[in-house]
Amino acid sequence: MMIKPLRNALLLLAAALLLAACSGGPAPRVVGEPSAALEGPMVDQRWNLLLVGTHERLSMPERPFFVIDRQGRLSGSDGCNRLTGRAALGENQRIAFTELATTRRACPRAEDAARVTGMLENAYRYLIDHDRLVFFGPDQRVLGGWRRVD
């Protein structure tokens, strides 16, 4: 079963990020000027939800996902609703999502859809390891994991 190794990998990634964050220095600046094109392994990729927190899988009407384009526009789904917004990337794997909006359709899993949106709203840093993306909150807690779709 892959859940335990994945959970262990996420915990190791969280520990590494926590150690790096404790190294001091000024808070990272988030780059989000409209004229600056975003670059990097997160941009122009589809990311499907893998886990909420370190181990919880959600069963949603459709798979939650997001894509960030080079202009910083976010599009995707929270599992029930279309999701849009803006993303800004900064130094030291800093990330900020703003202007998040959903279509708010009736959904039998509305609470879980809100948790997906909440994960994005609370994302502060990220870490990419091969095809996995992990979001961390300001307190360095793992918010969830995503998998890149090729």
Please tell me the predicted confidence (pLDDT) of residue 25.
39
Q: Please state whether beta strands 30-31 and 73-77 pair in parallel, antiparallel, or not at all (unpaired).
A: unpaired
Lowest mean pLDDT among 6-15, 50-59, 73-82: 6-15
DSSP string, 47-69: EEEEEETTTBPP--SS--EEEE-
| Most distant pair of Cα atoms in the chain: their distance | 46
CATH architecture of 3-22+30-149: Beta Barrel (2.40)
With 80 as the cut, is the pLDDT of residue 136 above it? yes
Q: What angle do CA 42, 43, 44 make, to 5 degrees?
A: 125
The reply to whether the predicted model has a pTM over 0.75 is yes
Mean pLDDT of 57-76: 95
76 vs 120: CA distance, rounded Å: 12
8 vs 110: CA distance, rounded Å: 29
Burial of 46 per CB tally in 10 Å (0-12, 13-18, 19+): middle
Span 85-130, pLDDT tens digits: 999 999 999 999 999 999 888 888 999 999 999 999 999 999 999 9
Output phi, psi for 24, to 5 deg.
85, -165
| Average confidence score pLDDT of the chain | 83
Find the length of the chain.
Answer: 150
Q: What angle do CA 70, 71, 77 make, to 5 degrees?
A: 85
Mean pLDDT of 62-85: 96
With 80 as the cut, is the pLDDT of residue 6 above it? no
Is the model more confident about 20 or about 4?
A: 4
Please tell me the predicted confidence (pLDDT) of residue 61.
87
